[in-house]
Chain A
Amino acid sequence: MTEKLDTKGLSRRSVLKGGAAAAGAAIGSGAITGFPTIWAQNIKDITLRQFGTGVSNLNEVGKKVKEDLGFTLEMTALDSDSVTQRAATQPKSFDIADIEYWICKKVWGAGNLQAMDTSKIKNYDKIVGTFKSGKLTPESTIAQGTAPHTVGFTEGPESKTFSETETGWMTLIPTIYNADTLGIRPDLIGRPIDSWAELLNPEFKGKASILDISSIGIMDMAMVVEAMGEYKYPDKGNMTREEIDLTMAIFTEAKKNGQFRAFWKSFDESVNLMASGEVVIQSMWSPAITAVKSKGIPCVYQPLKEGYRSWGGGLGLSANLSGLELEAAYEYINWYLSGWVGGFLMRQGYYSAVPETSKEFMDANEWGYWFEGKEATDVIKNPFGDAMAQAGEVRDGGSFYDRMGAVACWNAVMDENQYMVRKWNEFIAA
């Protein structure tokens, strides 16, 4: 299998090289005939600095870039707060920003990122509809919150305002995304869980946890409040002050009653909380579940009847990028969407923005398990060689369309964001 992949990689690479030459020629920097050689020589000296959270800033990707494209991609992993800060205030410290869509909504106005010309993105047409029209399939309804397409386009290359429709200028090139739900320890709970409301069930007093990142946590809270039948939000993704107060009041009371064991902020914390048995039910990310499972501890990513809370991340280009480096960055993005990374990330439980290309880099069993929601026909391994599932197992929540089709809301930055943040601080201090 490895061999097969390798040959594929090779053919892929030669295609890309051709693509690079073509792209170089298309820019037309004068000497059309001589350009590709200059390109090939200079590109080795280029270093692009990328930062983001550890979720997708994987060294393996940097290595593969060197192998396939020839230039150096330096990865810096940061916690989610630092990611926002760097994108907003230290434009010179990075070339490529790997951020989430809701962060984009906050930092785009700072002008540190430049919009991307979609005509230079080869696989643009194949990008999942969620990131373009907002609709996964033409029949889908758009979920509440900061859906990626609402902050995915700008009016023009210099524009600071978002456009609701496809304009040809993209803020972030979508990379990975997923549908989140509650993670549970079936061995310690011992009964079926099917609703977000269970998070505040007194049965799990002192054994529940949520995420301490306000833009994400508030959405989890909203899912719970609706599931409990306390309130039905007209738009969870854009609450009024009264709605924020009401949501916080319910959770503050639960907190005071000792419902929560801890709030987690980094991926790793959520894994440790679950693996050590400190917490039996919490909002969690898919690969965190797989991490717990790979330690031989039973853990389920429980699909719930109210639907999923979704998130998406993408790559943005620093406004300081120009010339050859900018071309290298486009080259990198095209490579990112060409399938290898997609396959690499999908084997960890995320989804790729261009699933068709990723399919070429996964075997039928992997594709069937991760994307189509089919029974595994053989052991499913993650890219690091750990067994994720045995033959006969099915992915929690089913196929891509089942899961992404049941998204109820996206992580959101609301109009009342500042008010919400203040209330969040009060909740933490309560």
Chain B
Amino acid sequence: MEPRSRSFYALAAFFGLFVLFLYGPVITIGILSFQGPRGGLTFPMNGVSLHWFFDLFEEQAVGDIWGSFRRSFGLGLMVMVVTVVFSVMGGMAFRQKFRGSTFLFYMIIASLIIPSILVSLGVGLIFNILDLDVHWATSGFGAQLTWTLPFGLLIMFAVFNRFDRSYEEAARDLGASPWQTVRYVVLPIIAPMLIGVALFGFTLSYDEFARTLLTAGSYNTLPLEIFGMTTNVTSPVLYALGTLTTLFSFLIIGCFLSIVILLRRSQASKGSDAGKGMV
């Protein structure tokens, strides 16, 4: 470890500014969510109150925040689980060359770079032509997977690229079956990275707008619902939702971090060197 140089402080300050920049809108939202009961979405403040936080749990004039939140949250979880499972499977498959692997790889890249609105349009058209019902849990789900899967896979490729194979060989030498090797050696080592994939999957799905726009069907996801709500008078209720989301996120992330730390600790106490298998 080098001594903390001037560049450390300069970069730390830069990083601080970057975080401040990222939090700019969140801070604005935070302040304005305490608007008085007659306040609006913009400055000036019209008194200070907790009115909108209570109002958030009342029925709104337009739209159904909690119904769409449940859908988005459920969809996020579905996307998260499928992304994690498929990415791990894909990541393992890609550790050796197989016929079609290059084609599949470019398909994954293509999935990443195709503008969202096109996927939305295409999936919507197909369902239209095949006379299927568009629904957030079918067409919406699939459309979002084309976005989260490439991210999950790319992370898994990166993970397996620097996975030290000697651990597996050791396990095999000790007589472990392929499944046991995966279950007791590979998965524990890549577990922290899976949390990353899961987080990515959930975040990307939860806030996805364009891909769900033409594929959600009768019931809106949260981003679509909020967009729909802006066709009438919206209130700082939206900001209250934002502020609560941020607070809730801090809570969740606290939990995730504790899990990671606990995992490491239990691994350390078992004397396993899992987690160090990454080069």
Contacts of B41 in A (CB 8 A): 268, 271-272, 275
Are A79 and B133 closer than 8 Å at their CB atoms?
no
Residues of B within 8 A of A (CB): 38-43, 46, 59-64, 124, 128, 133-134, 213-214, 217-220, 224-225, 227-234
Cβ proximity bits A41-67 to B, threshold 8 Å, 1 near / 0 not: 000000001010111011110010000
Q: How far is the CA of A82 from the CA of B231 in the complex (A)?
A: 11
A240 CB, nearest partner CB in chain B, Å: 33
Q: Are A295 and B133 in contact (CB under 8 A)?
A: no
Contacts A90-B134, A275-B40, A296-B46 known; A49 to B218 CB distance under 8 Å?
A: yes
Determine if A79 and B231 form an interchain contact, defined as CB atoms under 8 angstroms apart: yes
- Evaluate contact between B230 and A268: CB separation under 8 angstroms: yes
Q: Which residue of B lies closest to A266 (CB)?
A: B230
Number of residues of chain A lying within 8 A (CB) of chain B: 42
List 15 additional contacts besides A55-B231, A266-B231; criterion CB under 8 Å: A54-B228, A76-B228, A77-B225, A78-B220, A82-B228, A93-B218, A266-B230, A268-B230, A271-B40, A272-B42, A276-B43, A291-B40, A291-B233, A296-B46, A297-B40
Q: B40 is contacted by which of A54, A58, A295 (Cβ under 8 Å)?
A: A295
Say yes or no: is A294 at the interface (Cβ < 8 Å to chain B). Answer: yes
Residues of B within 8 A of A77 (CB): 62-63, 220, 225, 228-229, 231-232
Please state if A79 and B227 are interface contacts (CB–CB under 8 Å). Answer: yes
25 A–B contact pairs at CB < 8 A? A53-B228, A54-B228, A54-B229, A58-B61, A59-B60, A59-B61, A60-B61, A75-B64, A76-B218, A76-B228, A77-B232, A78-B224, A82-B228, A93-B218, A266-B230, A267-B232, A268-B41, A268-B231, A268-B233, A271-B41, A275-B41, A287-B233, A291-B40, A295-B46, A296-B38
What sequence of 0s and 1s flags, for each residue 66-84 of chain A, a beta carbon within 8 Å of any chain B beta carbon?
0000000011111110100
Q: Is the CB of A85 within 8 A of B228?
A: no
Contact check, A92 vs B62: say whether CB atoms are below 8 A apart.
no
Provide the residues of chain A in CB contact with B227, threshold 8 Å. 78-79, 266
- Interface assignment of A415: CB less than 8 Å from any CB of chain B: no
Q: Is the CB of A57 within 8 A of B62?
A: yes
A54 and B220 form a contact (CB under 8 A) = no
- Which positions in A face B, CB cutoff 8 Å? 49, 51, 53-55, 57-60, 63, 74-80, 82, 85, 89-90, 92-94, 266-269, 271-272, 275-276, 287-288, 291-292, 294-297, 384, 386
**Known contacts A275-B42, A287-B233, A296-B46; is-contact A79 B134 (Cβ 8 Å):** no
Main SS at interface, chain A = mixed
Measured CB to CB, the nearest residue on chain A to B213 is A82
A74 to chain B, nearest CB (A): 8
7 nearest A-B pairs in the assembled complex, by CB-CB distance: A54-B232, A54-B231, A276-B42, A77-B228, A268-B230, A54-B62, A53-B231
Least CB distance, A359 to chain B, in whole angstroms: 23
Given contacts A76-B218, A89-B128, contact A54 B230 (CB under 8 A): yes
In the bound complex, residues from chain A placing their C-beta under 8 Å from that of B38 are 294-296, 386
Closest-CB distance, A65 to chain B (whole angstroms): 14
Asked whether, in the complex, the Cβ of A268 is within 8 Å of the Cβ of B42, the reply is: no
Q: A272 to B213, alpha carbons, bound, how many Å?
A: 24
Q: How far is the CA of A92 from the CA of B134 in the complex (A)?
A: 9
Given contacts A90-B128, A296-B46, contact A76 B233 (CB under 8 A): no
